[in-house]
Amino acid sequence: MTATAVAADAVLGIDVGGTTVKWRLATSDGRVLAEDRLPTRAPDPDARLLAQDVVAVARAAGEHARFGAVGLAVPGIVDDHAGVGLLSVNMGWRDAAVADLARAALVEAGHDVPLAVVQDVRAGALAEAADLPDTEPADAHGADLCAFVPVGTGVAAALVRGGRPADPSPWAGEIGQVMIPSGPHAGLRVEDVASASAIARRGGAPDARAVADRVRAGDAVAAAAWADGVDVLAQSLAWLTAATGCDRVVVGGGLVGAGGLLLDPLRERLANHLSGWRVPRVTAARHGASAGVAGSVLVARGLRAPTTQGVPA
């Protein structure tokens, strides 16, 4: 396929993860033209390596089609509107001018197109909210607030209402950093017990999937670690629901691969924690590890709209 073989409405989405940079070239109607990945280069304290990688991705994507906008999903604490990475432990940056650096590098490489930065969990939330099945009517108030909660190395959350991010601050959503105030895990953070990595560590297995297999096989240590993780996660979702009024919770990340072993007790315990309250629908994420790159494509598509500037607000 040559660069002139497709319509000029193609957009490029890029998702920067701790180990890989995923990218996807897609048309305005969602058709994927090309996608690939390359290793993440970190630490990258000033985000200059990332700017170089964005150019490398643009060159690779440009071999398939011209694109008219770029959505760039990055990890950590991110000011989407300013395009600044305020803090990222994985990338090693603080107050990095991600959007300015990436945009300048693209222009220098001959790709003078709009670019917007979005925090990766919010990007995933956009993708999951856009792909929710509409099998149940909204409540009497027409609520459609969706919480996306990926459970992997850490635990985070992002809110979407009507296809737009609903988070009030770049610092919103870091629910894994909340200290557990009482009980057997008092003094630990939520992600010290409920993340996929914590469940693996506490269950004595290389990863959460192995813990799930041991739970099914009747391993008592694995079962205890799993039960603790599910209960702490349910408590966190109860706080999130009470604070935001979300009516849908989409659980993603590595842990959701366990299916009913996770979701069935999670729904039950969440209902117990919210006794007397409206309990949100809890479902598994549909995009899996591709949620961030799918969301970055949506952000790029938003830039193509004449009245849209930056990430939808």
pLDDT of residue 162: 82
pLDDT of residue 173: 93
pLDDT of residue 313: 42
pLDDT in tens, 43-99: 999 999 999 999 999 999 999 999 999 999 999 999 999 999 999 988 999 999 999
Mean pLDDT of the chain: 90
Distance CA 53, CA 1 (A): 23
pLDDT of residue 157: 97
**Alpha-carbon distances of 303 from 38, 53, 72, 97, rounded to whole Å:** 25, 21, 12, 19
Q: What is the share, in percent, of the chain residues with pLDDT greater than 70?
A: 91
Q: What is the share, in percent, of the chain residues with pLDDT greater than 90?
A: 80
Confidence of residue 163 (pLDDT cuts 50, 70, 90): confident
Token readout for 20 is 């890989």
pLDDT of residue 308: 39
Kind of pairing between the strands at 164-165 and 248-252:
unpaired
Q: Is the pLDDT of residue 142 over 90?
A: no
pLDDT of residue 1: 40
Domains of the chain: 11-120+290-304 (3.30.420.40), 132-285 (3.30.420.40)
pLDDT in tens, 169-227: 899 999 999 999 999 999 999 999 999 999 999 999 999 999 999 999 999 999 999 99
pLDDT of residue 8: 58
pLDDT of residue 132: 74
Angle, nearest 10°, between helix axes 98-108 and 48-62?
Answer: 40
Bridge partners, residue 79, by sequence: 84
